[in-house]
Structure 1
Amino acid sequence: MKAQVFRGVNQLSYEEVPVPEVGPDEVLVQVRVVGLCQSDIKKIMYPLYEPPRIFGHETAGIISQVGSDVKGWQSGQRVVVMHHIPCMRCDYCLNENFSMCDTYKNVTTTAGFAPSGGGFAEYVKVPGHIVRNGGLIPIPDGVTFEQASFVEPTNCCLKAVKKAQIGPGQTVLVTGAGPIGLMFIMLVKYFGARAIATDLLPARIEKALQVGADAAFDARDADLPSKIRDLTGGLGVHTSLLAVPSEKAFFQALDCTRKGGKILFFAEFPDEVEIPLNPNVLYRREVDLMGSYSSSFRVQALAADIVFNKCIDVDALVSDRYNLRDLGAAVERAVRPSAETYKILIYPEGKV
């Protein structure tokens, strides 16, 4: 089969590799589409992992082979593949902090070499632990593979929205109107809250309004805090969601968040970034700082339900489609996006 093999920093090799052999409790899935995630880009561009590896994890496809011991699944079924499933037994899992579980963090779906997701290939093997514990999600009729590939990123954003306890009557600031920021806007609206978005690009400001933001502003607007106070009865937003790794965005969110509000870090900052902060700002205003990393098993079913029932318009997030052989070009487009670049999807040869 064909796969994009990570051979070193910024080195992708489109090559022939063996189709993974399936064990008795495992399933082989023919990849039909896989989303290009910022975490994939980071793994390709920086020396974080030893090569060779095959990345890619926002995967939807068709079961092509099932192991002899597998129950409840058969060849031909359309499925979403979840690459993270927690153990459900450790202290983290028992406290519903699933993304800190060692089993969760140990990626085991693979298309060969050290297991690393495996979606950037024609076939990916799903291990028994994931098959048995909810890591395969059937795709209903009427839902495309493209739409289904959004279940995992929707889960990640949904986890953050639930953690911040966003609900009806609230106003939420979303910093950054890229694909994640736009999904946040949709989910904020789904839960009955108002969304205010910021971005640097006029096209993305307009896109934020198109997908449901009540207001959208240039992030460089010096009057942004006062404009947001005007929209919130002089109080500021209940919650700010940081969808961009920007120190300026954080301090802007701090200025725009009301007393007793929340600021949630969703985008991952570079490790060398340190944000100087007077703790009395948090103490006197009772502002909560929180982080949300990756997905949550607890909201997995809800994420699938939201996508499959078209409660949010994931089709509006797709801007680019690339063949698997052109993954390098897709990464380049993501790193140097145009004003119209949002979500990029990758397809095995001939499937675009």
Structure 2
Amino acid sequence: MKAQVFRGVNQLSYEELPIPTLETDEVLVKIHVVGLCQSDIKKIRYPLYEPPRIFGHETAGVIAAVGEQVTGWEVGQRVVVMHHIPCMRCGYCLNDNFSMCDVYKNISTTAGFTPSGGGFAEYVKVPGHIVRNGGLIPIPAGVSFEQASFVEPTNCCLKAVKKAQIAPGQKVLVTGAGPIGLMFVMLVKYFGAKAIATDLLPSRIEKALSVGAEAAFDARDPDLLTKVQALTDGIGVDTTLLAVPSEKAFFQALDCTRKGGKILFFAEFPDEVKIPINPNILYRREIDLIGSYSSSYRLQSLAVDIVFNRRIDVEALISDRYPLENLSLAVEQAIAPSPDTYKILIYPQAAE
């Protein structure tokens, strides 16, 4: 099979590898589409993991083989593959901190080498723990592989929305109108709140409006605070979702978020970034700072319902499609997006 192997920082190698062999409790999936995620790009661009590895985790495809002990799954079934499933027994899981679970972090799908998602390949192997515990999701008729590949990123965004306790009638500032920010806009609207989006690109400002934002502004607008206050009865938004790793965006969030409101960090900042803050701002204004990382097992069925029943229009987020052999070009485009770049999908079977 063909795979894109991470061989070092900014080094992707399009290689021929053996198809993974199965243990008796494992499943092999032929990948039809995999989304390119910002976390994939981070892993490729920075020295975070020892090579060689095969990344990619927003995966949908067809079961190609099943181990002899596997029950309930058959060759030919269309499935979404979740690359992590928590143990449900540790102290983290018992407190719903599933993404902190050691099993969640260390048992993953693989196309070879150290298990790292494995979606950037023609085939991926699903470990028994993931097969047995809800990590394969059947794709119903009428739902495309492209749509299905959004289940995992939708779960991640949904977790943040739920963690911030976004409720009907609230006003929510979404900083950044890239693929994640736009999905936040859609989910905020779906749950009955009103989104105000910011971005630097005029096309993304327009896109945010087209997918449901009540208002959208240039993040550099000197009158941004005044405009946000005009939309929020002069008190500021209830919650800000930081979808870009920007220090300026954080301080805008502090200005625009009302007393007693919440600021949620979703985008991962570079480790060298330090944000100085007077703790009395949080104390006196009762601002909650929250972090949200990865997906929540408890929200998996809701994410599936939202995507499969088209409660948000995930297809509106797709801007570009690349064959697997051109993954490096896709990464370059994501790093330096054109005005119309949003979600990029990768197609491993294009090599056939």
Question: TM-score scaled by structure 2?
Answer: 0.99
Corresponding position of 1:247? 247
State the alpha-carbon separation in 2 of the partners of residues 272 and 53 from structure 1. 25
Corresponding position of 1:174? 174
Matched residue pairs, number?
352
State the alpha-carbon separation in 2 of the partners of residues 287 and 93 from structure 1. 27
Shift of 1:350: 2.6
What one-letter code is carried by the residue in structure 1 that aligns with 2:216?
A
| CA shift digits 1:19-45 (9 cap, x unpaired) | 000111000000000000011111111
State the alpha-carbon separation in 2 of the partners of residues 274 and 180 from structure 1. 23
Corresponding position of 1:271? 271
Corresponding position of 1:314? 314
Corresponding position of 1:91? 91
Which consecutive aligned stretches of 4+ in structure 1 deviate over 4 angstroms post-superposition?
none
State the alpha-carbon separation in 1 of the partners of residues 59 and 203 from structure 2. 28
SS of equivalent to 1:326? helix
Contact 1:32 1:351 (8 Å CA) reproduced: no
What one-letter code is carried by the residue in structure 1 that aligns with 2:302?
L
Contact 2:2 2:351 (8 Å CA) reproduced: no
The 5 Å alignment of 1:1-352 reads: 1-350=1-350
State the alpha-carbon separation in 1 of the partners of residues 53 and 153 from structure 2. 22
Shift of 1:351: 7.7
Shift of 1:108: 2.0
Q: What's the C-alpha RMSD, in Å, of the aligned pairs?
A: 0.9
Shift of 1:222: 1.2
Question: TM-score scaled by structure 1?
Answer: 0.99
What one-letter code is carried by the residue in structure 1 that aligns with 2:53?
R
What one-letter code is carried by the residue in structure 2 that aligns with 1:66?
V
| CA shift digits 1:126-171 (9 cap, x unpaired) | 0000000000011111000000000000000000000000010100
State the alpha-carbon separation in 1 of the partners of residues 285 and 269 from structure 2. 25
SS of equivalent to 2:143? coil
What one-letter code is carried by the residue in structure 2 that aligns with 1:164?
A
| CA shift digits 1:150-209 (9 cap, x unpaired) | 000000000000000001010000000000000000000000000000000000000000
What one-letter code is carried by the residue in structure 2 that aligns with 1:318?
I
* Structure 1: gaps of 5 or more residues: none
State the alpha-carbon separation in 1 of the partners of residues 326 and 226 from structure 2. 45
Shift of 1:107: 4.0
User: Percent of aligned positions with the same letter in both sequences?
Assistant: 80
| CA shift digits 1:252-310 (9 cap, x unpaired) | 01100001100000000000111111111111111100000010001011001100000
State the alpha-carbon separation in 1 of the partners of residues 282 and 120 from structure 2. 43
Shift of 1:9: 1.1
| CA shift digits 1:218-270 (9 cap, x unpaired) | 00011111111111111110000000000000000110000110000000000
State the alpha-carbon separation in 1 of the partners of residues 200 and 188 from structure 2. 21
SS of equivalent to 2:92? helix
State the alpha-carbon separation in 1 of the partners of residues 132 and 191 from structure 2. 31
State the alpha-carbon separation in 2 of the partners of residues 173 and 323 from structure 1. 35
* Structure 2: gaps of 5 or more residues: none
